[in-house]
Structure formats: C-alpha cells, structure tokens
Amino acid sequence: MVIIMLGAPGTGKGTIAGILTKELQIPQVSTGDIFRKHIGEQTELGKLAEKYISQGKLVPDDVTIGLVENRLEENDVKEGIILDGFPRTVKQAEELDKILENKGKKVDLVINLTTPEEEIIERIVNRRICSNPECKTVYNLILNPPKQEGICDKCGAELIQRKDDNPETVKQRFNSYIEETSPLVDYYSKKGNLFSATVSKSINKLGKDVAEDVLKFIKENK
C-alpha cells in the first residue's frame, strides 16, 4: 500500500504517519529526515537543501524526485510505504505516478490534513524532537510534553528543537505550502483517492484521533 501525507507543516503528518506505520507495518519515509541527515553531514546535497529550507522554501524538484526514486528501490518498502513530505508539487506527483507505474503500483490513499494557521505556529514553535535517529519521537511542550523536561520518555535521549521551528520560518513555510503544494489536493481529489481531515484542538480532534479514523477507513475499503 502506498500512502501519501498531505498538509502544511505542523498539521500532524509525522504523528499520524508514525501511528499508521506501527499498525500497518509499512515504513514511514520523510524527505525532511533525509535532508536533515545530509545537512548534519554537510554533504553537497545537504548544503543545497539547507539553503532553501533555512529560507522556508522548497527544495528543487529534480533533487527531491531523484532522492525519493532511489529510496523506493530499497527492500524495506517493497510491501508499502508512507510518504511524508513528498510529493509537494503537482510535477512531483506526476513523476511519482510514473515511477510507481513502472513498478506495477499506484498511490492507494492520500491523507489531506488541515489546521488553523495560528495553531500551526503555536504547535511548531513548541515542538521538540528526540535526538536519537532510531527513535525520533515528536513531543509538544503544550499538547504532549515529555515526563522529564528535555528528555525523551521512550529512549532517554536529549530532546532538540529544529532551528527552523521559529515563527518567521513557519509563516514562510506555510505560505510556500499554500502557493505551491495545495494544488495537490485538487490533483488527488480528481483521482478519487483523497481522505481529508481537520486536526485542531478547537474541535477536539488531534493526530491520534485522525489516525484511528484513517485505519477504520482503510479497513472498510479493503
């Protein structure tokens, strides 16, 4: 099964994808994690990605498409994959369809998440990530804080804040999403594989609740 997570930064894509990964036994692949790894190692790709990400802009299509295509060749995604952060443009979506078609596969489900902008800013500014690359558990200092400040509940590693998790960059990323990525909603809506949901504390619907709805939807439509 090929699942795509759509939504502006801070809508809960990573949280929901993590739950689906556990329940469906298929890996979550985040282009953001791959970019951050390269940035940390200061590879040529990392330097290029950092240039765009630090400004709240999207990494160029050709770089991202090639990276994802290579990732789809690896053994752990033969049975399925949850793509978090890709595609981000219609061009990327069209290229992904071609890549999957060559493998006799298709996009089975696209999960589109929406959250009010003010909630997104609050959520991302208060987001903390486990520094252990094998864990990567996500916390929120308001919604789901760790039991011990600055320490991951699951593995005991230090929690960190991404340097681009600040109000100015978040607003830029949100605007980039609206301008360049939201057309994907129309693209997949026309294909009939779109599942839309609102993640917001104002309606008492958080990531785990949406994940349960998605799992129920998948079960009913097998």
Residue 128 annotated to the active site: no
Q: Is 197's pLDDT higher than 80? A: yes
Which string of DSSP letters, residue by residue, matches 168-194?
HHHHHHHHHIIIIITHHHHHHHHHT-E
Which residue's entry shows tokens 């090639």? 66
Q: Where are the domains of the chain?
A: 2-116+167-220
Active site residue 127: yes
Indicate if the pLDDT at residue 34 is higher than 80: no
Give the pLDDT confidence of 173-182 residue by residue, as tens digits. 888 888 877 8
pLDDT at residue 186 greater than cutoff 80: yes
Catalytic residue among 36, 123, 127, 128: 127
Options 37, 71, 105, 162, the catalytic residue: 162
pLDDT of residue 49: 80
- The pLDDT mean for the chain works out to 89
Are 67 and 48 spatial neighbours (Cβ–Cβ below 8 Å)?
A: no
What pLDDT is attached to residue 163?
87
- Reading the block at residue 85, the tokens are 């952060």
Model confidence at 47, in pLDDT bands (50, 70, 90)?
confident
pLDDT tens for each residue of 131-161: 998 888 989 998 889 999 999 999 999 999 9
Question: Domain 2-116+167-220's class?
Answer: alpha beta
* Residue 36 annotated among the catalytic residues of the structure: no
Q: What is the pLDDT of residue 215?
A: 94
Predicted pLDDT of residue 206: 86
Active-site residue, selected from the candidate residues 13, 36, 123, 136: 13
User: Active site includes 162?
Assistant: yes
- Of the residues 36, 88, 123, 136, only one is catalytic, namely 88
- For residue 130, pLDDT over 90 is answered with yes
Percent of the chain exceeding pLDDT 90 equals 45
Say whether the peptide bond before residue 87 is cis (omega within 30 degrees of 0): yes
Kindly state the average pLDDT of the residues 193-215.
91
Question: Which runs of consecutive H residues, i.e. helices, occur in the chain?
Answer: 13-24, 31-41, 44-53, 61-71, 90-102, 117-125, 167-176, 183-191, 207-220
Residue 30's contacts (CB-CB under 8 Å, 6 or more residues apart) are 14, 17, 84, 85
* Contact between residue 32 and residue 109 where contact means Cβ atoms under 8 Å apart: no
Task: Tell me 79's DSSP state.
Answer: S
Tens-place pLDDT, residues 92-127: 999 999 999 999 999 999 999 999 888 889 988 999
The token pair that represents 215 in the structure block: 């799992």
Residue 165 DSSP class? -
